[in-house]
Amino acid sequence: MTAMLTLQRRHSQKCPDRKKGPTHLKCRGKCPLWACGMTESGRARLTLKTRDVDRARRRLVELEDRRSGGPRKTIVAAVEAFHAQHQGDQPETKRKYKRLLGYLAEFCKTSAIGYVDRVTVEALDRYTLWRAKERWAWIKEIELMRQFFEFCRDREWTTKNPARALKRPRLQDANDVVPYSQKQITKILFACEGIGRTSYERLRARAMTLLMPCRSAD
């Protein structure tokens, strides 16, 4: 079994955020941080000897490196390697990759997910809710995540591609689009008389309007 340790706060009795549970890291009491979870030996709870979240994350990385017998690929390093492989792409493509994978890296950091092989389907389900995107924007982002995790799997930084389990949103089919009614077309044609400064512009707008589909009856 692969070690699965997460950061948790050991809230004191006086901590105002005690009821929010150990996974609430931003507690106002600044309670001690621990590494908790399941390992090959069973359940583990190890003090990280710090109250600072960033320092605790670094110590968790070092701890997991020692437990796994060697360094694994971090999310940040994997993203940098992915960008390096796409240096020859168009500038706009590189900017898009940098922006979208930056969101993934930010989410993983706030969720205390340091390594590529720690990203699970459940983690990406939470990422989906965090991003709150839909339609084409989310479809493109899913495609990029699948590409990124396949890149990591090919290099044996992970044994799975969790992004493949994400469902693409269903887009409205062309047959589901309701055409304009005759009444709506008439109103649009009337509005064409006020378009532009010349008769040519008005005629062009009228011609484009007549090309639009309409329903045969209301």
4 contacts 38 by C-beta, under 8 angstroms = yes
- Residue 206: per-residue pLDDT: 84
Read off the pLDDT of each residue in 142-165 and give the average, rounded to a whole number: 93
What's the token pair of residue 77?
């390093």
Read off the pLDDT of each residue in 169-181 and give the average, rounded to a whole number: 66
Cβ neighbours, 10 Å, residue 209: 17
3-state secondary structure of 157: coil
Select from 137, 153, 145, 133 the least CA-distant residue to 104.
145
Beta-carbon contacts of residue 131 (< 8 Å; ≥ 6 apart): 103, 107, 138, 141
Residue range 47-81, pLDDT digits in tens: 888 999 888 888 887 777 666 655 688 999 999 99
Q: pLDDT band at residue 187, thresholds of 50, 70 and 90?
A: confident
Q: For residue 100, which phi and psi values (nearest 5 degrees)?
A: -70, -40
Q: pLDDT band at residue 1, thresholds of 50, 70 and 90?
A: very low
How much of the chain, in percent, has pLDDT values that exceed 90?
Answer: 37
3-state secondary structure of 178: coil
What is the average pLDDT value for the chain, to the nearest integer? 84
Q: CA-CA distance, 58 to 63, in Å (whole number)?
A: 9
Read off the pLDDT of each residue in 87-92 and give the average, rounded to a whole number: 88
Domain boundaries, the chain: 4-68, 75-165, 174-218
Q: pLDDT band at residue 41, thresholds of 50, 70 and 90?
A: low
Read off the pLDDT of each residue in 142-159 and give the average, rounded to a whole number: 92
Q: pLDDT band at residue 29, thresholds of 50, 70 and 90?
A: confident
**pLDDT(188) > 60:** yes
Task: Supply the CATH classification number for the domain 75-165.
Answer: 1.10.150
HSE-up of 119 (CA within 13 Å, CB side)? 36
Question: C-alpha angle with apex 48: 46 to 54, nearest 5 degrees?
Answer: 135
Q: CA-CA distance, 149 to 166, in Å (whole number)?
A: 12
- Please state which of the ranges 144-148, 161-165, 187-191 shows the lowest mean pLDDT: 187-191
Better-predicted residue by pLDDT, 164 or 213:
164
- Residue 156: per-residue pLDDT: 86
